Amino acid sequence: MLGLNNKKDFTLLLVVAALTLLAPFVLNPFPSDSAMAQFNAGYPDLMQRFVIFGIFAVGFNILFGLTGYLSFGHAAFLGVGSYASVWMFKLLSYNIVPAILLAVVMASIFALLIGYVSLRRSGIYFSILTLAFAQMSFALAYSVLSNPKFNLTNGETGLQVYANDPQVFHRAGLPDVPHLFGLSMRSTYTMDVGAWSFSFNVGYYISAIVLLLVFYLAIRIFRSPFGMMLRAIKSNQTRMSYTGLNPRPYTLAAFVISGAYAGLAGGLMAAMDPLAGAERMQWTASGEVVLMTILGGTGTLIGPILGAGFIKYFENIFSKINDTVLHQWFAFMPDGMEDFMVFVIKPFVGKGWNLTLGIMFMLVVIFLPGGLVEGGQRLGKWIKNRGKSKDSPAKTEPAE
């Protein structure tokens, strides 16, 4: 069905579709006026970040998960996509279609140039080369390309749309914000059901549909002969070369596809907020997508999406827990015990959320080398086998 011969792949696509389309309900499990509402994540901006970084991580996994080439410079393509989209907003209109298309094209061209040079090396040398190119791109965007003579990036202020920009196709009646043929990306419908409040945002659902499309494409790539060649490169590139096959065109194609995914994510980020800054090209952004992929499960299909959601959830939810929130949680305790609990937990939330994320990442790497996907598989096996008796005789089958 849908060209997916593997029933598991089709089921996985349905699971991702259900999670994304029903996200406003799934991410708002607690009543809005309860103390636990702090952990709700069904806000339009946050949900949109979940799917955008999921796209970014899925694309990175095509390179790293299939070929084993670890890039530390993928944020460069994210930044290029953002800058290209904002320039389309400035020159043409706020319509996101041409902006996103240009973002994908420019990121692909940029990935082709960087990949052509970087893929002459492998291993740590490849990783260092991609990191160097990303930092060069950051420096260019931050200073060189912000020169008043040809201001392409607007330096540290960031590239944004101004009232005096050409916008040759913008006309009266269209929103003055990113839109899809007049449908504003910021348009939100809020549904109140008892003590719960659910937000349905146009920008989120457009991004979610894009995620489903690129996830479907990733499944086809994973199951295609091209994907098998990439796995062969990861398994033993030297042996593959001895068979007479040149691995470089395949790795370059994977690098370009991965860069296009990153550019698409950058374009959607600009559609969410029409501002592009050089900070999106920093090495920390590249490291973040590496963490997302490893945490979710390298080489798996749904793993990068889970990893992206996990990290963005911690970044946006746990970072907002401050002293006031902690004191509200433990207000039922005696004063001394309340202050002690706040003192113990405070280093792990708020500004210290990275410490909690680091500990959890360390535990996952140690006990779940396959990431969150492996954890889900183990849990599924445990549930499946829980009802089976340990004393039941082992089932034997005749040898073939």
d(CA 98, CA 84): 10
Per DSSP, the three-state class of 180 is: strand
> pLDDT digit string (tens) for 330-371?
888 888 898 899 899 988 888 888 888 888 888 888 888 889
| Cβ atoms 307, 292 nearer than 8 A | yes
Amino acid 308: pLDDT: 94
Measured between alpha carbons, how far is residue 7 from residues 2, 11, 274, 380 in Å? 11, 6, 40, 18
Amino acid 238: pLDDT: 83
> pLDDT digit string (tens) for 24-60?
999 999 888 887 888 888 889 999 999 999 999 999 9
Amino acid 156: pLDDT: 84
Could you tell me the mean pLDDT of each successive run of 10 residues in the chain, 400 residues long? 80 93 92 84 92 96 94 94 95 94 96 95 93 93 82 88 89 90 92 90 96 95 93 88 88 96 96 91 90 92 93 86 85 88 89 86 87 89 74 50
| Cβ atoms 63, 71 nearer than 8 A | yes
Amino acid 295: pLDDT: 92
Amino acid 399: pLDDT: 42
DSSP 222-279: HHSHHHHHHHHHHHHHHHHHHTT---HHHHHHHHHHHHHHHHHHHHHHHHHSSEE-GG
Amino acid 394: pLDDT: 53
Q: Which residues face 95 on adjacent strands?
A: 179
Q: Where are the domains of the chain?
A: 43-281
